[in-house]
C-alpha cells in the first residue's frame, strides 16, 4: 500500500510539473527548432522534449525519362532529438522530378513522419501536415522559361503527451527546390 501511495504521489507530481511547463511562455522557438526546458527526471515519467533538430538527405541515381528528360528522387529529412542525441521523431519530404535542361517537366512530392520507439514511450505522436504541401514554380537563374524551377514547402506537427497532459511539441519545416539543369536544393 505504501508503494502504491508513493507511486501515485510521483505521478501526481509529474502531471503537476507537466501542466506548469505546458503554458505558452514555457517554450521558446529558435528558427524551425522547437526548444523546451529539460524536465527533471521523476519516478514513473519519461518526459523527453525535442531539444535539437538534425538534417539528413538522399538522392537516387538519375534515370532517363520520356521525351529526352532525366528523372530522379530526392529526399530531405529532419530528426527531432533529445538532450543526449536520441532520435524521438522524424519528418521527411520526398520528391520525384524530371527535367530536360529547359524546364522541370514533372514533379511529385509527398511527406511522411513518425516517432521512434523511444519517442513513443515518451508520448510523442505525429499529427500530420495540417497545412499541406505548398508548391510554386518560378523562373530559375540562368533561364527565361516559366517553371524552369520548382519549390515545395511543408511543416509537420508532433506533440508529446503523457496521461492526457501535453508537455512539448515540435513543428519541423522542410523546403526543397529543383531546377531545369538537374540541381536539387533541400
Q: Which residues pair with 98 in a beta bridge?
A: 71, 106
- pLDDT for residue 29: 28
Question: Domain residue spans in the chain?
Answer: 2-185
Cell of 35: 526548444
73 vs 142: CA distance, rounded Å? 23
Cell of 84: 543526449
pLDDT of 37 higher than 90: no
Task: Note the pLDDT tens digit of each residue in 116-168.
Answer: 999 999 999 999 999 999 999 999 999 999 999 999 999 999 999 999 999 99
Q: Which residues pair with 134 in a beta bridge?
A: 153
164 vs 114: CA distance, rounded Å? 20
DSSP 8-state assignment for residue 186: -
Task: Note the pLDDT tens digit of each residue in 68-122.
Answer: 899 999 999 999 999 999 999 999 999 999 999 999 999 999 999 999 999 999 9
Amino acid at each position: 500500500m505504501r508503494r502504491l501511495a508513493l507511486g501515485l504521489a510521483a505521478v501526481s507530481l509529474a502531471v503537476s510539473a507537466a501542466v506548469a511547463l505546458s503554458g505558452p511562455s514555457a517554450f521558446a522557438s529558435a528558427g524551425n527548432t522547437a526548444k523546451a526546458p529539460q524536465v527533471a527526471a521523476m519516478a514513473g515519467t519519461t518526459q523527453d522534449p525535442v531539444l535539437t533538430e538534425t538534417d539528413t538527405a538522399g538522392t537516387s541515381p538519375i534515370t532517363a525519362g520520356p521525351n529526352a528528360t532525366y528523372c530522379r528522387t530526392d529526399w530531405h529529412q529532419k530528426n527531432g532529438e533529445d538532450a543526449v542525441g536520441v532520435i524521438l521523431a522524424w519528418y521527411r519530404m520526398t520528391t520525384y522530378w524530371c527535367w530536360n535542361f529547359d524546364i522541370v517537366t514533372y514533379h511529385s512530392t509527398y511527406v511522411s513522419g513518425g516517432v521512434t520507439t523511444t519517442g513513443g514511450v515518451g508520448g510523442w505522436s505525429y499529427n500530420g501536415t495540417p497545412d499541406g504541401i505548398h508548391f510554386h514554380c518560378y523562373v530559375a537563374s540562368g533561364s527565361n522559361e516559366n517553371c524552369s524551377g520548382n519549390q515545395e514547402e511543408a511543416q509537420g506537427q508532433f506533440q508529446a503527451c503523457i496521461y492526457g497532459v501535453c508537455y512539448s511539441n515540435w513543428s519541423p519545416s522542410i523546403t526543397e527546390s529543383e531546377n531545369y539543369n538537374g540541381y536539387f536544393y533541400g
